[in-house]
Amino acid sequence: MVEDVTRMYSPLERGPKAHLTDPPILVVQTAFLGDLLLSIPLLRRLRLLRPNSPIVLVGKEGFARLLKELDVVDEVFEVRKGDPASYASVQARLRHIKFEWIISPHESGTTAKFCWGIPAKLKISYHQWWNFLFFKDRVHKNLDLPEALRQMSLLSHQDPELAMWLQDIKGLELRKADVYGRLPQVPLWASLSMREKLLNKSPALPADERTICMFPGSVWATKQWTEEGFIELAEKLMKEGFKVYWMGSKDEMPMTKRLEVRAKGSKSVAGQLSLMQSLILLSHSRAVVSNDSAGQHLAAVAGTPTVAIFGPTILEFGFRPWNSQALVAELFDVRCRPCGMHGHMKCPKNTHECMKRLPVNLVHQRVHQLL
Ligand code: SF4
């Protein structure tokens, strides 16, 4: 990888990136896949602001390289969460490069220490009481804004035009759905969609206007709608002539295999496709049904209409599907909602009624609203 970065600065070998002659910019985003995808508008804005600077990303192992495949960044280094040696090894590779800026949307002490060891003219992150030694430009974190815009706001001191747009935007309204589950449009300048690029590639599996992809999993167990709910929904849709794919990570394969067996005719593809192949498949499909998890953000990158199911979390936390063609299915009469920023592994009330009571008919109706 050291050679890769060195090559980036060798004019003879830069090839199609020959224009990247300005000092590079480093973005450190070691969060889970969903948050990483919500960094795309920030990274795209960086490209516009600094068209001649290579953009280097440090991200979580298995996820970050997707953004290089999408050409949102020029170089990627991956770290293993909870493994200090992997952070130290990437830091050692980067500490010889003089970066123009280091931008960190990730707020942990580990990330701050990682950025500390790499030289840069300016280091940018959110304002925290403890991080004044690590970052020179500390931006107020506006909790009214949805997450994608919050991350973009890190550029507000360097990008007056963006700062003005962010000031004018009604952040709170962008995080509310109406009674039909409809969400306000995502501003074009902050879109995640890379649909055009993805539609030019062939999917690894057949997909068309009758294909619906479902993401039944989540890192947090309470954020998962019930398996019975997903099965009944899939059966209804297949009766109407749709094909259903169950999608997700390798860890979710046992569940998606169970769903495949019980919803006859559906197909589990979890753990079988790379993230890039998943995006291509989504872009060729008609719709996505996902819990409040990375699936809804993958669908936004693919530009595919989405029904997002919310249980213990709420839109007001800022993690709405960042997709102009998205509807939300949720219950308003569960008084313990929300019960945690990210959901829990176990329902604190032992009822899990926010998901168990969510009717199949409501999610099915939302799918038809989309179609
Ligand atoms: S406490 Fe309430 S909102 Fe949280 S998981 Fe349980 S039922 Fe859902």
Please report, as a single letter, which amino acid is at residue 240: E
What is the share, in percent, of the chain residues with pLDDT greater than 90?
Answer: 85
Strand order in the sheet with 99-104: 75-79, 55-60, 25-29, 99-104, 120-126, 137-139
Q: Which CATH architecture has domain 188-370?
A: 3-Layer(aba) Sandwich (3.40)
- How confident is the model over 144-157, as pLDDT tens digits? 899 999 999 999 99
In ligand 1, the atom with minimum distance to the C-alpha of 340 is 4
The answer to whether the 2-169 and 188-370 domains have the same CATH topology is yes
Q: Which of 225, 226, 291, 349 to mutate to test the pocket of ligand 1 (most atoms within 8 A of CB)?
A: 349
- Lowest pLDDT segment from 8-17, 111-120, 125-134, 328-337: 8-17
Ligand 1 center to 184 CA (angstroms):
26
Which residue minimizes the CA distance to atom 2 of ligand 1?
Answer: 336
- Taking only Cα atoms into account, the Rg of the chain, rounded to an integer number of angstroms, comes to 21
Ligand 1 center to 350 CA (angstroms):
8
> What integer best gives the mean pLDDT of the chain?
93
Strands 75-79 and 55-60, how do they pair? parallel
Superfamily of domain 2-169: Glycogen Phosphorylase B; (3.40.50.2000)
Parse the chain into domains and list their residue ranges.
2-169, 188-370
- The three-state DSSP-derived secondary structure of 98-159 is CEEEEEECCCCHHHHHHHHCCCEEEEEEECCCCCCCCCCEEECCCCCCCHHHHHHHHHCCCC
Ligand 1 center to 32 CA (angstroms):
22
Peptide bond just before 146 cis, omega within 30 deg: no
Tell me the torsion sign for CA atoms 289, 330, 147, 293. Answer: negative
- How confident is the model over 275-295, as pLDDT tens digits? 999 999 999 999 999 999 999
